[in-house]
Structure 1
Amino acid sequence: MTSPTARTEMTQAMVVFFSFCCGAIVANLYYSQPIIALIAPAVGLSSHGASLIVSLTQIGYALGLLLLVPLADLLENRRLILVTTAVATVSLIGAGLSSQPGVFLGLALLIGFSSVAVQMLIPLAANLAPEAARGRVVGNIMGGLLLGILLARPVASLIADHFGWRAVYLAAAAVMAVILLVIARTVPRREPAHQASYGQLLGSLWTLLRRYPLLRQRALLQGLMFAAFSLFWTAVPIELARQHGLSQSQIALFALVGALGAVAAPIAGRLADAGYTVKASWLALLLAPLAFLLGVSQWGYSVVGLALTGVVLDFAVQLSMVLGQRTIYGLDPHSRARLNAVYMTSIFLGGALGSAVASALYENYGWSAVAWVGALLPALALLVFAWSRRTQ
């Protein structure tokens, strides 16, 4: 039976609060990206193994999406969000105090696994929002989430530069503790109408994937886009430090410029509500490979060129992500958490792949190889989209 709170009005204040929570929670996945060169020697990891910190966090997130997020269609949502956020808080504290490589990597996996509360908050917001404004509400909340992704890097660099990398994790844990208290007091309860066993719920993920071609298409497109996104943002701090001599604080400013791409999220939501999903998707899928091709030009090797690549890439990835999310939420209102789980799992598996190969690709072949592979991934997504449009 669906709780009356499912009809609670999604006020602007709630949208702002959901945006902040989503941004703060998802930031846990990205704090390590610009500071892996500081973390690795402190916990006993080699330079080639440093990117495991990022990729294991994203693999943990993908596992959480697959195993935990579907429970939002079965269990009371607020309680589920509180439990997962509490685990994230404890994991962050453990990572901040850890000095053993195996322990730290295990905690990195758990941080990702327990940070999926953000993907329970977004479907909850979609359920609370009226149909006519759903794209705008989801777009605005995704704007907060994407700002969290993009601001996590500069915040981590600044804190690490002045207080050390351990302070990054401890500060993140403090933020999670505050969010726990606020969620407990402000987020409405929602009891889903879906009735099934946990095994049936997980099995239904495959059923949904088979039933909806649009879900398969959007999951593949965004997986490829996010692989390129993670490849760039894992490798570019190394390039900036080694080839341009930037400090952690300067790398933070660079990442802050990249956060300009987050303006795509609310724009995407409004475009989707207005019926421009296909045209906006073409734009996003064209911009991403063009951003990387700029990076292999002579001017693109400069700090300004790399920053422009980051801004354009971020804009394209965020635009495509929100358009895809708005599309899949319209497929089955009673299965939004599971649809979101399938969609986001593919995205973060792509992100984990991009992060995992970034260090080895850069160390063995340099920045040009990163840029060419980065261009190839969204180019493949563009071909998939063009082929799917033709068959339709």
Structure 2
Amino acid sequence: MDRKKLSNPVLYLMAAGAGLVVANNYYNQPLLNLIAGTFKVSESEVSHIPLFTQLGYAMGLLFIIPLGDKFPRKKLILIDFVAIVSSLLVAAVAPSLLILGIASFFIGFSSVVPQLFVPMAAQLADEKEKGRAIGIVMSGLLIGILGSRFLSGLIGEYFGWRIMYVIATALMLIYWILLKWKLPELQPDFKGTYGALMKSLAHYFKTESSVRLAAVRGGLGFAGFSAFWTTLVFLMEDSFNYGSGMAGTFGLLGIGGALAATWAGKLSDRLNRNKLITISSLIMIISWVIFGLSGSSLIGIIAGVLLLDMGLQSLHITNQNIIFSKHPDARNRINTIYMVGYFIGGAAGTISGAYAWEIYGWKGVSGIGFIYSLLILFFHFVFKKPDAENIS
């Protein structure tokens, strides 16, 4: 299919699907207090659920996404949905925290379909519209991340956390039907073996310094983001006496920030990307200062959420526009390198945020997030290349 034939209905189908599928990874966060109550475990123990999910996602990115360069994309996506549905069903009936943790790993492992959609959008779109196409799909993905927290918070509060996984299973079945009907097929560019495909990941990692830097920046940004969302439900319960419903409601606030993804995608087609990354990082630093001063202020938390989401999504879109400008025949593998780093950062942020909460409370979480954001600027200024050299 010619790249100029990317129609808006197909683009928005991918954007909606990116949100629906990635949501599977985040339903658990507002439900952690309810899950802890079901299995009678501590806050740090139950935080292993989002940790396993993020580690599974990183492994799925590493082992599944490169296949998009070797096998027909649509067929790969439709087969992957079998694993998504199976994992969600196991989570819904999990008899122990261990089984839920294993199911969560496979939910993350299989729910990597959005990272096949993003390079598909970049490949199908006209060159001048690439940033816009990436931005729209990423907006859908990010709205899914944030909206999932709102939905699961409400469902969990009124119907219990298991029902959320049942609903997620039904949504995946419906979306599978839509994909089978409407998603175009793209033929792969890579003709070698799977072993050669995986070896090429190491080659691109070694030779593409801008991709390595993007992975570091994205991973550090997502680390702070994950630390915040993992511990927010505990802050709401301890400081404000709110349950999972209120924690999930903050996801709706973040959607406003996530809409910055479309704006950032358009800007990154026209403006200096080094400057956009610097501005995005500074916005995240400011958000963490506000969080640190707002342990007992809902208004402060609201302002911080908006800024944190806006900063991270702008950083993420700019990173992706940089990496997709390189090696069009290897977009899935390039995206794999970036997103594995991104979600390893998320896993590190989840576990460090949980322990910071247990030891130092909200001030500790805010401090961890502030440090992660400062490190983005440090690595960016030390290792960035001029915009004319790397389109960044």
Q: What is the match of residue 36 of structure 2?
A: 40
Aligned positions of 1:186-265 closer than 5 A: 186-265=182-261
Please tell me whether residue 84 in structure 1 is matched to residue 80 in structure 2.
Answer: yes
Please tell me whether residue 367 in structure 1 is matched to residue 362 in structure 2.
Answer: yes
- 3-state DSSP of counterpart to 1:366: helix
TM-fit CA distance, 1:83: 1.2
Please tell me whether residue 339 in structure 1 is matched to residue 308 in structure 2.
Answer: no
Q: In the alignment, residue 215 of structure 2 is paired with which amino acid?
A: A
TM-fit CA distance, 1:159: 0.7
Q: Deviations over 1:71-98 (max 9, x none)?
A: 0000010011011122111110110111
Q: Deviations over 1:91-115 (max 9, x none)?
A: 1011011112221111000000000
Distance 2:41 2:72 in 1: 40
TM-fit CA distance, 1:253: 2.2
TM-fit CA distance, 1:300: 5.6
Is contact 1:86-1:180 (8 Å) kept?
no
1:129 aligned residue (125, 130, 143)? 125
Q: In the alignment, residue 78 of structure 2 is paired with which amino acid?
A: L
TM-fit CA distance, 1:269: 0.7
Aligned positions of 1:1-392 closer than 5 A: 5-7=1-3, 9-43=5-39, 45-297=41-293, 299=294, 301-389=296-384
Is contact 2:3-2:126 (8 Å) kept?
no
Distance 1:203 1:372 in 2: 38
Distance 1:121 1:170 in 2: 25
Q: Residues 322 and 112 (structure 1 numbering): CA distance in 2 closer, same or farther, change over 3 Å?
A: same
Q: TM-score, normalised on structure 1? A: 0.96
TM-fit CA distance, 1:6: 4.8
Distance 2:5 2:144 in 1: 25
Is contact 1:295-1:301 (8 Å) kept?
no
Q: In the alignment, residue 31 of structure 1 is paired with which amino acid?
A: Y
Q: In the alignment, residue 131 of structure 1 is paired with which amino acid?
A: E
Count of aligned pairs between the two proteins: 387
Is contact 1:158-1:248 (8 Å) kept?
yes
Identity across the alignment (%) = 32
TM-fit CA distance, 1:251: 2.3
Q: Deviations over 1:107-145 (max 9, x none)?
A: 000000000111111111211111110000110110000
TM-fit CA distance, 1:248: 2.4
Gapped regions of structure 1 (runs ≥ 5): none
TM-fit CA distance, 1:359: 2.0
- 3-state DSSP of counterpart to 1:343: helix
